[in-house]
């Protein structure tokens, strides 16, 4: 299912779950009945709400609703890991227990799914950046994905496909290095592949094969 369809379906499921919870009296409505439209929140996810100039007592906003809005805005911009969303909620002064509750609920309906995120991320980084498993592993860990989830997603990486990716990267890069000394080409290509996460064994084999095929390096 396309990412936009999955997000839309998950949002609908979340809305239905929230409506059912309100109907059952499990949580208060975000806006109490009779609240003046002039009520304006003055802080982030959990701050007090004051009535402008009315002199009446302020009403507390629903922290769950505020946190949910923050998360949905983040997800509307693109997939996020649970850790990334936790960090965003913490930056917005959301209480840890509220963040956990909202993220648990969104995990239940599929809006937050680190396993699906990791699988998508592996495919994307291979196809768009030509990254090897090691570089992808580093990026996923930096995004807070658990090691076991990272390793499960990387099991789908085909070593031969990774080698073909390295060959394609070297071929494209060599177009900008024609006329350079072979040693210089080798050094620059090795550094380039290392930044993409390729190990020395694969890198030097692919580089050697590519350079051997260049007319300028053919032996007499």
Quote the pLDDT of residue 13: 57
Q: The whole model's pTM is what?
A: 0.70
Quote the pLDDT of residue 12: 63
How high is the mean pLDDT of the chain?
81
Domain 115-154 is in which class? Answer: mainly alpha
For 9-66, give the DSSP string. HHHHHHHHHHHHHHHTTSS--SS-TT--TTEEE-SSTT--EEETTT-SPPB---HHHH
Quote the pLDDT of residue 19: 56
Residues 175-204, buried b or exposed e (16+ Cβ, 10 A)?
Answer: eebeeeeeeebbebbbebbeebbbeeebbe
Return the domain boundaries, the chain.
Answer: 1-14+62-112, 115-154, 159-217
Report whether CATH 1.10.10 matches the domain 1-14+62-112. Answer: yes
**Residues of the chain below pLDDT 50:** 1, 20-21, 23-43, 47-57, 220
Quote the pLDDT of residue 45: 54
Q: Reduced to 3 DSSP states, what percent helix, strand and coil does the chain have, rounded to the nearest 5? A: 65, 5, 35
**If we measure between CA atoms, which residue out of 174, 195, 198, 197 comes closest to residue 186?**
174
| pLDDT 10s digits, 107-134 | 999 999 999 999 999 999 999 999 999 9
Quote the pLDDT of residue 32: 35
Quote the pLDDT of residue 156: 87
Provide the greatest CA pair distance for the chain: 94
Same fold? 1-14+62-112, 115-154? yes
């Amino acid at each position: 299912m396309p990412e936009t369809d999955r997000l839309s379906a998950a949002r609908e499921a979340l809305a239905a779950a929230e409506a059912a919870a309100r109907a059952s009296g499990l949580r208060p409505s975000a806006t109490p009945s009779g609240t003046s439209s002039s009520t304006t929140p003055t802080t982030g996810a959990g701050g007090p709400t004051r009535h402008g100039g009315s002199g009446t007592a302020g009403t507390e906003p629903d922290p769950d609703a505020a946190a949910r809005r923050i998360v949905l805005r983040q997800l509307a911009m693109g997939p996020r890991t649970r850790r990334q969303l936790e960090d965003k909620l913490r930056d917005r002064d959301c209480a840890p227990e509220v963040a956990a509750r909202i993220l648990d609920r969104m995990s239940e309906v599929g809006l937050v799914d680190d396993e699906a995120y990791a699988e998508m991320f592996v495919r994307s980084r291979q196809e768009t950046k030509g990254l090897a498993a090691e570089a992808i592993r580093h990026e996923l860990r930096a995004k807070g994905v658990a090691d076991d989830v990272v390793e499960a997603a990387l099991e789908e990486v085909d070593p031969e496909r990774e080698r073909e990716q390295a060959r394609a990267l070297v071929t494209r890069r060599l177009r900008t290095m024609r006329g350079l000394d072979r040693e210089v080409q080798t050094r620059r290509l090795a550094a380039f592949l290392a930044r993409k996460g390729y190990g020395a064994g694969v890198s030097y084999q692919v580089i050697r094969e590519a350079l051997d095929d260049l007319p300028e390096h053919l032996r007499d």
